[in-house]
Chains A and B, each alone.
Chain A
């Protein structure tokens, strides 16, 4: 498998110090094997790993390239959680500063740079959401979004970057195999940081049903991503 192919077999990560006790602490996410196709790089472009190594040596240009490559994805993730453009920009800046400051803690043996960044961005965004005690408003927004746009999994942003389009299509193909109720449960858990009880309360659904939806949905996604990896 070539270097870029290996980069495509991306995944999770690392040693980043966290003040948050979310169970998705990246410190315990070593050497992932599953897919999640990362974008195809231009020939000769530095890999994410090379950029991380350069950032560890305090090369600002490397951070600049990493920013250009992933700011759109990370901002989309943040926006999906907090739904506020200005706050998303502030958070995005903080996250890239944290990448710069914490790069020394990144270990390639424990995972891929994109996974590390995604885990960090998600945690920070959910922290922000919780600090604002915005669960009630998020519930209202969810209802509005569901009414206005049934295909709620992807709802934000104009498409400025096409780099990720193929990857997105593949991943969405997997996600779209799920019934809407399963997608909704996973959406609330992953992008809103809600527990099963919170999801049950927000959707007026029995707790047992929520649990079943999450288990079935996540298993399908996990299996689908595995198949995707095998195809790559």
Chain B
């Protein structure tokens, strides 16, 4: 049985947090991460928040792809319909 008394250092937590926000932690690692997160409190939450900005950076690293005008027309028509109902 895995000991629950293990305490993750903040540096280890930071490494895990970067994996966590992109969904790359394995289930057993997630469990340990959540325990450490609770123990470390606000600094942990603040760090996790910062890590999420990597999502946006990854998206912005891509060249924009073109969508058809028809797609936008269809979307806006659906939105206006939804608004009426």
Contacts and interface: CB of A to CB of B under 8 A. Distances in A.
Interface of A: 10-13, 22-24, 26, 28-38, 58, 60, 63-64, 67-68, 71-77, 79-80, 88-89, 92-93, 96-97, 100-101, 111-112, 114-115, 118-119, 121-122, 126, 153-154, 156-161, 163-164, 167-168, 171-172, 174-175, 186, 189-191, 193-197, 199, 214-215, 218-219, 221-222, 225
Interface of B: 14-15, 18-26, 30, 45-46, 48-68, 71-72, 74-76, 78-80, 82-83
A52 B55 CA distance: 19
A29 B67 contact: no
Contacts of B72: 64, 67-68, 71
Contacts of B78: 93, 97
Nearest to B77: A60
Contacts of B19: 189, 196, 214-215, 218
Contacts of A218: 18-19, 22, 54
Contacts of A71: 64, 67, 71-72
Contacts of A118: 55-56, 58-59
A12 B53 contact: yes
A11 B56 contact: yes
Nearest to A156: B65
A74 B59 CA distance: 7
A124 B22 CA distance: 14
Contact of B53 (A35, A93, A121, A190): A35
8 contacts: A11-B56, A26-B52, A34-B50, A64-B76, A158-B63, A189-B22, A190-B55, A195-B25
Given A93-B71, A193-B23, A32 B53 contact: yes
Interface centre among B14, B18, B68 (most CB of A within 10 A): B18
A214 B26 CA distance: 13
Nearest to B50: A34
A34 B29 CA distance: 25
A32 B49 CA distance: 5
A159 B64 contact: yes
Contacts of B26: 195-197
Given A36-B53, A189-B23, A219-B18, A175 B61 contact: yes
A153 B63 CA distance: 10
Nearest to A58: B83
Contact of A119 (B20, B55, B61, B82): B55
